[in-house]
Amino acid sequence: MKKISFPSIITHKTPLPTTTKKTYDGVFFIFQTKFFFRGCWFFFSLITIIAGIYKRVKMGRGKIEIKRIENTTNRQVTFCKRRNGLLKKAYELSVLCDAEVALIVFSTRGRLYEYSNNNIRSTIERYKKACSGTSNTNTVTEINAQYYQQESAKLRQQIQMLQNSSRHLMGDSLSSLTVKELKQLENRLERGITRIRSKKHEMLLAEIEYFQKREVELENESVCLRAKIAEIERVEEANMVTGEELNAIQALASRNFFTPNVIERGTPTPYSHHDKKILHLG
**What pLDDT score does 178 carry?**
86
| In the chain, where the domains are located | 70-137, 177-249
Radius of gyration of the chain (CA): 57
Residue-wise pLDDT for 19-49, tens only, equals 555 555 555 566 667 667 777 777 777 788 8
DSSP 46: H
Claim: this prediction has a pTM higher than 0.75: no
Residue 195 has pLDDT above 50, yes or no: yes
* pLDDT, average across residues 79-98: 91
Confidence of residue 212 (pLDDT cuts 50, 70, 90): very high
Residue-wise pLDDT for 248-276, tens only, equals 666 666 665 444 444 444 444 444 444 44
**What pLDDT score does 20 carry?**
54
* pLDDT, average across residues 190-204: 93
Q: Is 104 helix (H, G, I), strand (E, B) or coil?
A: strand
**What pLDDT score does 278 carry?**
44
**What pLDDT score does 233 carry?**
87
Q: Cα separation of 266 and 174, whole Å?
A: 103
**Which of 139, 121, 142 has the alpha carbon at shortest distance from 131?**
139
CATH of 70-137 given 3.40.50.11900, 1.20.1560.10, 3.90.1150.10, 3.40.1810.10: 3.40.1810.10
